Amino acid sequence: MSRLCHLDRRTVLRGMGTAIALPLLESMVPVRVLGGGGAPAPVRMAVLFAPNGKHMPHWTPATEGPLDTLPQIMQPLESMKSEILPVSGLALSTEGAEVCGGHSCSVGQFLTCVLPKRTLGKDIRAGVSVDQVAAKVVGKHTRFPSLELGCVPSLYAGDCDSGYSCVYTTHIAWRTPASPLPKEIDPRALFDRLVGTASAGDAAGRGQRKRKAKSVLDLVLEDARSLHGRLGTGDRQKLEEYLYAIRQIERRIEGTEVDRVPVSSGVEKPVGIPRDRDAHIRLMMDMIVLAFQMDATRVLTFMIGNGSDNRSFPKIGISDGHHNLSHHVGSKKKQAKLSKINRHYMTHLLYLLEKLRAVEEGEGTLLDNSMILYGCAFGDGNAHDHKDLPLIVAGRGGGTIKPGRHLRYEKGTPLANLYLNMLDRVGAPTDKLGNSTGRLAGWEG
């Protein structure tokens, strides 16, 4: 055994208002656990929401059981085929809705499984989302009970869909039935929160740090050197790789952010959001890995786009708006473009899964100790079909999930049943969530 000391799991590197939590090192694991071959790492849960559904004929695997040939949209995940669990047949509810707005009704209940109240006023009401059920239990173990991330700002007013407030289409995390949680969309602000920078994300704080040091790592260098000398060979290498990864994220943020953009004569507006959407998505995914690696949180949601997102994709040759294409009305040309967008999103999911799998943790990897749910709030966007949602669960949930298969349930099975399974594995079991009717079978293989 190469370790020289035993460290507390909450050890941090400190210096000049900065505190960087460490990844799980061998020196943090009790000898009795190492000797028994156990995995001390906690199970993390992340939900990634993508807008406008999928082109289902190109999404759904042809057969149930072991994954063979991946469908067209999922083909970028070929190298991760053994780590994903596509799930078919799960549904949201429209029963009892006076008028069910296609996006608001579905996005608003994606994580709560409770039909949102149709209103444009302050009397918004949905349910408590699954991430917040988990955060209430496991959040006490981390600096942030949960993190809510996105790439597009949240809205709190306006009619976005059939008399439903825009709040429903721009939030998936709900702390209470009347309290949606805002998203953080600025990678720099999130980075500063994670590393504990004193002036988290404000322009003055960033400028001060740039004058004093090239990197947050410079601020904790003395503490890092002291710790380095107390670690065994394996932990030293892991610490060096971790700090290198943090610096690489910093450089990418600095390379994409624009400090100031003129908005009128004599006035400048600070901006930290990357102009390149793909770069923005991947920076936020880097933050997901970092947050899980340093155990800053174990519960996280990420809205890649708001409901009915209508941005175009010029980098892959598509000038049409995404939402417009989802209403294809049977047009083969539009369906082909929609499928191409859907496939492009899979390249981002692949990026995240590869990053998680590259981080060794305990007896496995960060991906082994995570559950990453990727999905949409309906299947076919043209029909706003809530009865067969496009969903993928990635990771092994600490060894409690057997991926590499396609699970198919009876069409119309409540999505809430899947959430009961996830809550069990993250350590926050409950018997009821939204319209759940019981747990899903078959996850363990």
Is residue 311 located within the same domain as residue 198?
Answer: no
Assign 97 a pLDDT band (cuts: 50, 70, 90): low
Residue 287 within any structural domain of the chain: no
Is residue 389 located within the same domain as residue 412?
Answer: yes
Say how many domains are in the chain: 2
Residue 104 within any structural domain of the chain: yes
Is residue 263 located within the same domain as residue 311?
Answer: no
Among candidate residues 347, 346, 348, 359, the one with its CA nearest the CA of residue 291:
359
Q: What is the pLDDT of residue 122?
A: 86
Is residue 106 located within the same domain as residue 194?
Answer: no
Predicted TM-score (pTM) of the model is 0.88
Name, in order, each residue with C-beta under 8 angstroms of 51's C-beta and a sequence gap of 6 or more.
304, 305, 306, 307, 308, 309, 322, 323, 376
Residue 107 within any structural domain of the chain: yes
Where is average pLDDT lowest: 89-93, 203-207, 241-245, 369-373?
203-207
Among 224-233, 272-281, 394-403, name the most confident range: 394-403
Is residue 338 located within the same domain as residue 267?
Answer: no
| Boundary-marking domain end, from 237, 272, 307 | 272
Residue 49 within any structural domain of the chain: yes
pLDDT of residue 94 exceeding 90, the answer is no
Which residues of 100-236 form beta strands (DSSP E)?
Answer: 147-150, 159-161, 164-165, 174-176, 179-180
- Residue 169's φ and ψ, nearest 5 degrees, are -85, -10
Is residue 176 located within the same domain as residue 162?
Answer: yes
The first and second tokens of residue 114, run together, are 């409770």
Is residue 73 located within the same domain as residue 206?
Answer: no
Is residue 219 located within the same domain as residue 318?
Answer: no
Contact 11, 20 (CB under 8 A): no
Q: Could you report the per-residue pLDDT of 300-332, keeping only the tens digit for each?
A: 999 999 998 999 999 999 999 999 999 999 999
The stretch 404-418 carries a mean pLDDT of 97
Among candidate residues 263, 288, 139, 287, the one with its CA nearest the CA of residue 201:
287
Contact 444, 402 (CB under 8 A): yes
pLDDT of residue 265 exceeding 90, the answer is no
Is residue 52 located within the same domain as residue 162?
Answer: yes
Residue 137 within any structural domain of the chain: yes
Q: What is the pLDDT of residue 245?
A: 83
Is residue 125 located within the same domain as residue 31?
Answer: no
Is residue 9 located within the same domain as residue 90?
Answer: no
Q: Could you report the per-residue pLDDT of 141-185, keeping only the tens digit for each?
A: 999 999 999 999 998 888 877 788 999 999 999 999 999 999 999
Is residue 17 located within the same domain as residue 60?
Answer: no
Average pLDDT, the chain: 86
Residue 181 within any structural domain of the chain: yes
**Residues belonging to the chain:** 445
Rounded alpha-carbon distances, angstroms, from residue 32 to 3, 5, 9, 39: 14, 15, 16, 11
- Range of the structural domain that residue 11 is part of: 1-38+188-272
Residue 285 within any structural domain of the chain: no
Residue 162 within any structural domain of the chain: yes
pLDDT of residue 39 exceeding 60, the answer is no
